[in-house]
Each structure stands twice: as C-alpha cells, then as structure tokens.
Amino acid sequence: MKLVVANWKMNMDITSASDFVTKFNEFWFNDVEVVICPSMLHIPILHNYIRNSSVKIGAQDCSKFQDFGPKTGEVCAKMLIEFGVKYAILGHSERRNMGESDEDLILKTEAVLESGITPIICFGEQKDEYLSSSVEQIVSDKLGFLSKIKFKNKIIFAYEPIWSIGSGIIPDIHYIKSMINTAKDFINYDDSSFIYGGSVDINNAQSLLSISDGLLIGNASLNAERFYHIITEAQKNA
C-alpha cells in the first residue's frame, strides 16, 4: 500500500483548512495510507472533522524534549498523541535552514519513536551537490548521522532534493530510483519505507510511485481535488 503525505507548511488559515476538510470529506478511497500534516494549530480541525478513517494526521515537526516541563513554545510528542497524531515530518530542509542540527534531529526521532509516532525523516541534496557528488556520497553525507539511533518501529524516509522543492522540476526518474535504492541499502532496516518529495503533481505522480513507496507533497496538497487526484494515482499502485 502506498503512502501519500500532504505537507501544508505555513500555507493554510482557518478558513482554507476548514474548506479543504469539507471538500475532502466528499471523497472516498481505501488501499492508500493518506497522511495530512497541517500546522500545529490546525491539527484539531483535522482531528475533529476528517471523516475517512484512511486519513491519518501528521505533524510538521515535534519537540526534541520528551517530557512535559518548562520549555516555552515547544510541542512534545505526548501532546501530539492526544490529538491523534500518528506521523511527524522531521528534518525537513526548510527547518534545517532555520538551524536544526543533526543532534536535534536524532533527539526528535527518538522522542517520536518513544511515543509510537512514525517519523518521516527528510533528506536531500542541494543543486551543487546534485551536480558534483555521487549518489553514494550524498546518501552517506545526509544519512550518516542516523547510525547513532537505535531504530525501533517503523521509519519513513523522504528523499527530497532541496532544489526540487517548490521549483516545478524533478530529477530524472532513474536518478531518483538510484538515490532511493542506495539509501535503502545504506539504512538496511527492514521496517523502513522510502517516499519521494519535491514538486510532486498529477502529471509526475504515477512515475514517481512506480519507483517509491509513496509521495510527500507540498503545493499540490493544498487543493482538495488536486490532492485527491494524486491519491487515486496511488490507489492504482495498491
């Protein structure tokens, strides 16, 4: 079964998030695991109003601190669980750009695994690395720090070439396939899946699904019909 993940980033207000849910509730599907990751504030809208039980809620981040305590501004995994959150996107390049370190990402991964939330760990290269480095080099540069984590439970890896995000351009499909296969060998953990993110849309979804376990979708997930259209492509691959 394919996994289709929506990353709404900071692109929805109450009205657009509620309108999305109303529209999305008209669609029915199964044999696809659909995850919607709204902002922290909009998680309760999905928790309360999404009707299709195939739709799971994800967070776009999670605190590296596991326990309740004096950590102003943080939202920990135990709080996310209370609102039905089952997945958490971790280490997205936009957060790494804001200063998130490998150490932070290790702690966040351990925190969500501890709570039973499935991490969606993002990795990907900049354009200059894409042009100058081998696939093996990129994988060991970006994922090497994970050797410190003792994996337990399911882990999802999202290969997201940074230069592809929001650009409308994706790498050659053979390149993506070799990146995913190399990462799979490198991680070598049975309970892992590898999805692709970066400018996913209706026109490229089918070929991307043929070489991956699913998709991480930004812009094309903001409109309920467009997102549903991609889900139907994933259903064909069930």
**Active site positions, annotated:** 92, 160
Kindly tell me which of 16 and 25 has the beta carbon lying closer to ligand PGA.
16
Residue, CB closest to ligand PGA: 218
User: What residues between 175 and 204 interact with ligand PGA by CB under 6 A?
Assistant: 197-200
Binding mask 146-165 for ligand PGA (x = CB under 6 A): --------------x----x
Q: What interhelical angle do 14-24 and 224-236 show, nearest 10?
A: 40
Q: How many angstroms separate the CA atoms of 97 and 81, rounded? A: 27
Taken as a whole, the chain contains a residue count of 238
The least CB distance from residue 10 to ligand PGA, in Å, is: 12
Give the end-to-end CA distance of the chain in Å, rounded to a whole number: 5
Q: Does residue number 38 form part of the binding site for ligand PGA (CB under 6 A)?
A: no
Hey, which bits of the chain come out as E strands? Answer: 2-7, 32-37, 55-59, 85-90, 118-123, 155-159, 192-197, 214-217
Instruction: Please pick, from the candidates 4, 7, 61, 90, the single residue that binds ligand PGA as defined by CB under 6 A.
Output: 7
Binding residues for ligand PGA, rule CB under 6 A, total: 13
Using DSSP, state whether 105 is helix, strand or coil.
helix
Among candidate residues 25, 33, 18, 92, the one with its CA nearest the CA of residue 60: 92
The least CB distance from residue 201 to ligand PGA, in Å, is: 8
The least CB distance from residue 6 to ligand PGA, in Å, is: 9
Name the site residues for ligand PGA (rule: CB under 6 A): 7, 160, 165-166, 197-200, 216-220
